[in-house]
Structure 1
């Protein structure tokens, strides 16, 4: 196969391929599709005095099945922030992820301006692993995304695990 020059390259926008794919290509792309599963979302709530339920927030794991890891995202309703509830629900969610889903690692991407989330994840044992420079545009400027990770072994050896 010749290496194409710039003017020979073409691309297609849409859901169908123009190029012929070999059986090997199809197998490769099919296997890649099953490595990513549907996200697992845990919704947290509590029962109020009048018997109703009020949502506190959620934690979602975007799974990478074959690699046994996931990206975590979370949200805590504004009225529950700053009360330790975020830490509680993420701790419960990590326990579920490492014990029930049998994950080896959990990764978080946090916007640098979200200092509260950075501190929260650090308090749960997450370590800063990298920076995606100016990868988020927000409020008229570009911000870094901080990549953080927590390995199952580190979680098992942490104070948070023993609580």
Structure 2
């Protein structure tokens, strides 16, 4: 591939490439390229009668520490769905995220066919912020990805979302 000056352009694929950036250039890069913040995962358990614990599900925050935000992912085991446990897990995780991780906002990306997750997020205060048109290929067709967000102030100011 040649650039406008006719010189050949080279590229690198992989995670070991390091480049020195000027202070001015840093603003153009995703925080994920600059920092190595590990995701924070909360695993929820149910205590069984025999004293053992069974995993109910998890909530994970993919942190953007500089900007004080995170992308959220959550999962509830099939046998626990439809019982309000997912809502409880999400509420506990949001409290942890805003109080302990000191986040300013949380973003969720949900496939349009995942109606259960969309309802759960909406009932927890998330607002629809945008749509990534036909961004997910599944089962022979393209689906939209719904982008949802929850701001710290909205979470703090609405007692209903924290019950």
Pairs within 5 Å for 1:7-18:
8-15=8-15
Q: CA deviation at 1:46?
A: 1.6
Distance 1:130 1:54, change over 3 A: same
Q: Compute the TM-score of the two structures, normalised by the length of structure 2.
A: 0.86
Distance 1:78 1:10, change over 3 A: same
Query: Within 1, Cα distance between the matches of 2:11 and 2:52?
Result: 53
Query: Within 2, Cα distance between the matches of 1:47 and 1:151?
Result: 33
Q: CA deviation at 1:119?
A: 0.5
Pairs within 5 Å for 1:15-94:
15=15, 24=22, 28=26, 32-34=33-35, 36-94=36-94
Specify every segment of 5 or more residues in structure 1 that has no aligned partner in the other structure, as ranges.
Answer: none
Q: Compute the TM-score of the two structures, normalised by the length of structure 1.
A: 0.86
Q: Which residue of 2 aligns with 1:97?
A: 97
SS in 2 for 1:102: coil
Equivalences, count: 155
CA RMSD in angstroms comes to: 2.4
Query: Within 2, Cα distance between the matches of 1:16 and 1:121?
Result: 36
Relative to its length, the structure with more helix (as a share) is: 1
Q: Which residue of 2 aligns with 1:4?
A: 3
